[in-house]
Amino acid sequence: MKLKQLETLLGDLQQFTTPKVELEQYPTGPHIASRLLYTAENSFDDISNKVVADFGCGCGTLGAAAALLGAELVIGIDIDPQSLEIASMNAEDLELDIDFVQCDISNLGWRGQIVDTVVMNPPFGTRKKGIDMDFLFVALKVASQAVYSLHKTSTRDYIKRTSLRDLNASSAEVLCELRFDVPQLYKFHKKKEVDIAVDLWRFVPKRSQVKDN
């Protein structure tokens, strides 16, 4: 599938109807989502025929993109039931089989590293400090191959240092810098639309070096 085609399909997905500020629910736009998954598939072979988990999946954009690119199993995990309902409908509209689980990523109970790749657009931690690193910590425990994640560019040094030192990453690489446009969703947003600089990261978990296949 071509990048443009992927972006168009994702552009038709339904997004949050009443976003919850405490969960930092911002839709992952089709531009960013398509690029994240396209890079994971075409530069690193991390998506097709793989087990992919979408952490904090929201309306399921990243997971849907993974399924469209040929992931064998996609699991979308989110704490919010309304988001999961929209994500299920989105998957159905695109005729994609995606498993959804309602769970707080910080308390996720998980066996082994059967998931190959985690993709996520985690909360940036502007409302609940440290939640972005909680997501990354769990993702690097669950994934055997790679974790793709978006983080504010302003936190680049901190992310790099912490993921390598404390979070079981053997490598942490910024693949590109993107503009994340946050539409005016909430009352406290004064400007109509803001652009935030975000980094697209690829982390490799340590244990993946002893691959079992």
Partner 1 sequence: MRLLTHNMLSSNIKGVTKGFPLKIEVEKVVEKQVEINHDFLRNIFPKIDWKAFSDAARTMGYVELPEQAPDPSVLESDLDFLTKFHHALLELHLEEGALVCPETGRKFPVNKGIPNMLLHEDEV
Q: Binding marks (x or -) toward partner 1, 53..82, rule CB under 8 A?
A: -------------------xx-x---x-x-
What's the rounded Cα separation, in Å, for the pair 196 and 180? 5
Binding of residue 96 to partner 1 (CB under 8 A) = no
Of 79 and 185, which CB lies nearer to partner 1 in the complex structure?
A: 79
CB 63 within 8 A of CB 57: yes
Of 3 and 114, which CB lies nearer to partner 1 in the complex structure?
A: 114
* Count of residues near partner 1 by CB under 8 A: 27
Binding of residue 209 to partner 1 (CB under 8 A) = no
Residue 113: partners with Cβ closer than 8 Å, 6 or more residues away: 141, 142, 143, 144, 205, 207, 208
Site for partner 1 in 99-118 (CB under 8 A): 99-104, 107-115
Q: Quick one: which H or E segment has residue 35?
A: helix 30-42
What's the rounded Cα separation, in Å, for the pair 89 and 186? 24
Of 45 and 99, which CB lies nearer to partner 1 in the complex structure?
A: 99
Q: Quick one: which H or E segment has residue 76?
A: strand 73-78
Of 28 and 83, which CB lies nearer to partner 1 in the complex structure?
A: 83
Count of CB atoms within 10 A of residue 2's CB? 9
Per CB under 8 A, residues contacting partner 1 are 49, 51, 72-73, 75, 79, 81, 84, 88, 97, 99-104, 107-115, 212-213
